[in-house]
Amino acid sequence: MITPLTSAFGEDVKFTVEAIWKVLLASLVLGAGLCAVFALGIRSLAWGAGGDAEVSHAQGNPAGRIVAGLLFLVVLYGVVAGLLFIIASGQGKELTFSHVIPWIQAKAD
């Protein structure tokens, strides 16, 4: 019994190490990355609003709003993808990004 038990234990550790790196990388991009993009959006909004929105009290720049809008769109894309992913996995399906817009499809396997 000892040998198969320990080897299965080793396999569990191996699978975990393999999975955890991917989880870490994906979470860094989606979690921390999208937070940073959102923060850039806020910063651009403040740049666009000018005056009291910034410590420097500089004049507002209209381009700030446009840049902010684009950045928020990126965040929205991530959030919608997350939402669709939850729905897809609840239905036993998976998400495809093959047409840029994330969409639900039957599982490939």
- Binding footprint of another protein on the chain (CB under 8 A): 4-5, 7-13, 15-16, 19-20, 22-24, 26-28, 30-32, 34-36, 38-43, 45-46, 49, 52-56, 75, 79, 82-83, 85-87, 89-92
Shortest gap between Cβ of 17 and another protein (angstroms)? 9
- Nearest by Cα to 59 from 49, 45, 71, 72: 49
- What's the closest the beta carbon of residue 2 comes to another protein, in angstroms? 12
Q: Which is nearer to another protein, 35 or 66 (CB)?
A: 35
Contact 79, 35 (CB under 8 A): no
SS3 (DSSP) at 45: helix
Q: How far is the CB of 9 from another protein (least distance, A)?
A: 5
Handedness of CA 59, 67, 73, 79 (dihedral sign): negative
Q: Are 72 and 38 in contact (CB under 8 A)?
A: yes
Rounded Cα–Cα distance for residues 31 and 26 (Å): 8
Task: State in angstroms the smallest separation of the CB of 99 from another protein.
Answer: 19
